[in-house]
Structure 1
Amino acid sequence: MRLQDTFVIHPEGRRFEIQPKVRPAKTKVKVGKIYNCAIEGFSGLVRAECLKIYEKSAHVRIIVCHKERDEWRQKVLGDQTVVKLKNMVLAR
């Protein structure tokens, strides 16, 4: 394999790198359902309702914190935050 094989060559001689295709993550998270979430900055799990789903995260409304010392952080955030999709587990 030569170095030229890894680049697309423009007719004027300039080289451009091939951009990888970004595919959205397949997830089972649904809007309106309640999940147990591990959120950065909180010491324990948080029970939250999903409001909106982005590519790799979700906007949630915090319902209750499992540890009392996290309640002040919940109030500071206005009961809403963003969570990584991989840190969300459906509550039973």
Structure 2
Amino acid sequence: MDRTAEEFSYTQKIKPRPEKALLDAEMLKDTVIDMAERRQEARSAKIEEDPKAAEARKLKRLKEVKEELHALRAMSFELFQSTTQLLRSIEE
């Protein structure tokens, strides 16, 4: 059997199912539409957000970052002191 005959017999075994393809296409379309609607809702929520609430959230985050920075500076200073002490003990 040559290649063309093999391909023909193979395609005869696989029966096309246009109903399934149509159903899959509809499901894909619905999924894409749902995703687009969710994205649009998220954008709308951001636009409708209260400016005072957004400002309060930003200030709260700024305060948190300042506290983290202060803690990092303290740890850095402690590390510097311990390194200095270690170097002095090595020199002695």
Structure with more contact order per residue of length (Cα contacts < 8 Å, sep ≥ 6): 1
- Of Structure 1 and Structure 2, the greater helix share is in 2
Larger-Rg structure: 2
* Same fold, judged at TM 0.5 (above): no
TM-score range, shorter chain: under 0.3
Q: Tell me the TM-score normalized by structure 1.
A: 0.24
Q: Which has the higher strand share?
A: 1
